[in-house]
Amino acid sequence: MTQENKPAAGRTRIALITGGSRGLGRNMAIAIAKKGIDTVITYNTNRTAATEVVNEISSMGRKAVAFQLNTSDARSFEVFVKDFSAWLQENTGNASFDFLVNNAGTALYSLIKEVKEEQVDQIFNIHFKAVVLLTQQLLPFINEGGGIINISSGLTRITNPGSAVYASMKAAVETFTRYLAKETGDRKIRANVVAPGAIETDFGNGRVRDNPDINKHIAGITALGRVGLPDDIGGVVAFLCTEEAYWINGQRIEVSGGQAL
């Protein structure tokens, strides 16, 4: 990174990770903290889990804080951004931060012929509308030379019956990210997508982690011979928050172990 794009001397970088209290978001937050970056996470309902993540990061000597945010309700974004920027100003002397990770999400498994309108609306609100509108409201606070990482899915490449709506919203996020990279380039803000393959977490009620048949099937079609783990993802997201990744921009990085090649 050129000198003019580096953080000011002595200034600690800060990352915001939505949905950082559990699963992949938790792993991302901890991995980012290990890079020497202070972290802010959001959670929807599980404050206890969020506090545990904050405490773990704090024990590493990094600053961390958790805010409640329901990403399905865009009307709440204005208040969240106001509270978040006020916290930044109070604790750092500046209302800006460096990295935004749009990770919050929920699962939907439904065949096209069976999916309900309210399910489509919910997935749209959480996985696409929230990414667009929250990013829009936070952009003025992202430092020049910072970055945005949007979390997508291997399902935008791999078709699996029952995932059509979810995967379509993630495909929209991937297109949005390329436009975002181009429109924020004048501020040297880069935007990329990380697309995990199937991962053993509690996502979708632990569908991949807890169903032996699904787990075995995915391992069998993955070149590296197993299902992914949270640690396989967090480090990649953390890398994108480093100076070494500065020249990566507008890219979709699939992290799937070679699933369904």
Reported confidence tier of residue 9, pLDDT bands at 50, 70, 90: very low
Q: For residue 85, give both structure tokens.
A: 């920027």
pLDDT exceeds 80 at position 179: yes
Question: 183 pLDDT exceeds 90?
Answer: yes
Catalytic position from the list 72, 85, 152, 256: 152
Query: Tell me, what's the pLDDT at 210?
Result: 77
User: Is residue 61's pLDDT more than 70?
Assistant: yes
Q: Is 153 a catalytic residue?
A: yes
Q: Is the pLDDT reported for residue 96 higher than 90? A: yes
CA distance 91 to 93: 6
Q: Assign 174 to helix, strand or coil.
A: helix
The answer, yes or no, to whether residue 57 has pLDDT greater than 90, is yes
* pLDDT at residue 212 greater than cutoff 80: yes
Out of 21, 85, 163, 170, the active site residue is: 170
Where do the structural domains in the chain lie, given as residue ranges? 11-255
**Confidence at 202, pLDDT banded by 50, 70, 90:** confident
**Catalytically annotated residue among 166, 168, 179, 256:** 166
Percentage of residues in the chain having pLDDT higher than 90: 88
- The CA dihedral of 201, 261, 124, 20, to the nearest 10 degrees, is 30
Q: Indicate which residue of 72, 153, 163, 256 is catalytic.
A: 153
- Residue range 67-92: mean pLDDT, rounded: 97
User: Which has the minimum average pLDDT: 80-89, 100-109, 147-156, 212-221?
Assistant: 212-221
Provide the pLDDT for residue 10: 55
* pLDDT (average), residues 143-164: 97
The pair phi, psi for residue 95, each rounded to 5°, is: -90, 20
Tokens matching residue 132: 């667009």
Alpha-carbon dihedral sign for residues 133, 186, 246, 173:
positive
Write out pLDDT tens, residues 20-33.
999 999 999 999 99
Q: What is the CATH number of domain 11-255?
A: 3.40.50.720
Concerning whether 152 is annotated as a catalytic residue, the answer is: yes
Residue type, 180: L
Instruction: Report the run of H or E that residue 187 belongs to, with start and end.
Output: none
pLDDT over 70 percentage in the chain: 96
Model confidence pLDDT, tens digit, residues 222-243: 999 999 999 999 999 999 999 9
Report residue 8's pLDDT band, with 50, 70 and 90 as the boundaries. Answer: very low
